[in-house]
Amino acid sequence: MMANKNQIRCAAVLLLLALLLSACQKGPEQTAVSEHVHVLETHGKTYYVMDEPYDGEYSVQLVSFCPELPQWRADDTVYVAVEEEGLVPEDFARQTVMSAAEYADYCSAWGMEPAYTDPNLAYAVIAGGENYLAAVGVELADVQTEDSLVKVYLRDRFHNPNPQSSGFVVTVPVDPAMQAAELVPVCNAEEAKNLQKYGTPYDPNETAAPEKPVIYLYPETETEVRVLLDYDGELTCTYPAYRDGWSVTAQPDGTLTDKDGMVYSYLYWEGQGAADYDFSTGFCVRGEDTAAFLEQALAQLGLSRREANEFIVYWLTRMEANPWNLISFQTSAYTDHAPLEITPAPDTVIRVFMAWKPLPSCVQIEAQTLQTPERSGFTVVEWGGAEIKDE
């Protein structure tokens, strides 16, 4: 009888230990918003994660703010080449509910056909865009109502292989009693997993991200220019197509024209290589301070305001959400792996390449000395970067 009691006590203890172990292994708290979205609480922050795409009624329209220039479309993504700054007017962006008449007027103002025309419905409209976006893609995760508020759970994807401008308009038919709309950003499952483990949407254990440089040409007069790139890795993307080099007619303002009459703002290339980047000096910058830091550093390195703007727009979305970023601007560690041969020879060459790592906390590093070059004569400017992820 005593043995049976001891066995019962032992089993109870083992059960309690199993329950405690299970509770410890549960990880961050997750609360379902709906079958499409759940809340993730991790690292002291709240995120919304998309489980399934929204299966209700809605429309996504993609807008070019310079329709006379070349553009092409794939699935829910539109690419459009532009050069001018300030092409996305401030009053384009919306998070609101409109009547059918207001929605028709809004579409007309931006050169779109209304996706819906039923006068008995209202329309929740979420619209956004930024200058120099080459492409915009959106994924709608869910639409929820709370009293008179419509919450639109949305994941947007911005890409930028050229200095371009485009925007998106998401329209959801709603009850006329709805009075306001709110955009709720969401991440996907892979990003959520990384947020739980590392506190950032990116996995620092993946291999280094491909380099993404662009090359500007500023001759003193209209000049036929040939550019050869001797990259010791694999070119994964070029625009215009590299083939055996780039041959363009360059204007003093940087406008480039190829033999077919296509106009470009710069030469773009992307590659995957095995360069060993130098982090002996650099800067450890809070994610939230990245934009201000880059504005100052890029000006000091010789980039114009336009060039710096395009650089920052390209990288900022991947850097500002990180707790910290370790940044080092490369010299020979980069240029030795990607030498340029330019004919005619330029008078000034500025090559800015940023190697960086997302970090969970600050590290000590010797401050890098940045030199400001003088821009004179035929000037060539290149900027690029690589996110380094330790294996």
Same domain, 172 and 297: no
Domain containing 80 equals: 59-198
pLDDT tens-place string over residues 100-137: 999 999 999 888 899 999 999 999 999 876 544 444 55
Residue 204 lies in a domain: no
Same domain, 145 and 249: no
Which of the given ranges, 54-63, 71-80, 272-281, has the highest pLDDT on average? 54-63
CA distance 364 to 346: 38
Give DSSP secondary structure letters for 140-200: EEEEEEETTEEEEEEEEEEE-SSSB-EEEEEEEEE-TT--EEEEEE-B-HHHHHHHHHHSS
Q: What is the mean pLDDT of residues 320-328?
A: 93
Same domain, 220 and 362: yes
pLDDT tens-place string over residues 26-70: 445 568 889 999 999 988 888 999 998 899 999 988 776 655 444
Same domain, 229 and 375: yes
Residue 142 lies in a domain: yes
Same domain, 273 and 369: yes
pLDDT tens-place string over residues 162-201: 223 467 889 999 999 999 999 998 988 888 887 888 776 6
Residue 10 lies in a domain: no
Same domain, 71 and 186: yes
Residue 368 lies in a domain: yes
pLDDT over threshold 90, residue 155 = no
Residue 17 lies in a domain: no
Q: Please give the span between the terminal C-alpha atoms of the chain, in angstroms, as a whole number.
A: 58
Same domain, 193 and 221: no
pLDDT tens-place string over residues 211-231: 679 999 999 999 999 999 999
Residue 45 lies in a domain: no
Q: Based on the structure, what is the number of domains in the chain? A: 2
Same domain, 248 and 101: no
Neighbour tally for 204: CB within 10 Å: 18
CA distance 135 to 62: 9
Residue 106 lies in a domain: yes
Same domain, 136 and 274: no
CA distance 280 to 110: 50
CA nearest to 142, candidates 47, 31, 36, 57: 36
- Reported pTM: 0.52
Same domain, 164 and 134: yes
Last residue of a domain, one of 139, 173, 198: 198
Last residue of a domain, one of 132, 167, 198: 198
- Going by pLDDT thresholds of 50, 70 and 90, the confidence category of residue 237 is confident
pLDDT over threshold 60, residue 298 = yes
Quote the pLDDT of residue 19.
52
CA nearest to 262, candidates 239, 238, 281: 239
Half-sphere exposure of 317 (CA within 13 A, CB side): 10
CA nearest to 186, candidates 331, 326, 67, 53: 53
Quote the pLDDT of residue 14.
56
Residue 115 lies in a domain: yes
Quote the pLDDT of residue 75.
41
Same domain, 166 and 288: no
pLDDT over threshold 70, residue 255 = yes
241 vs 216: which has the higher pLDDT: 216
Same domain, 371 and 236: yes
Last residue of a domain, one of 155, 173, 198: 198
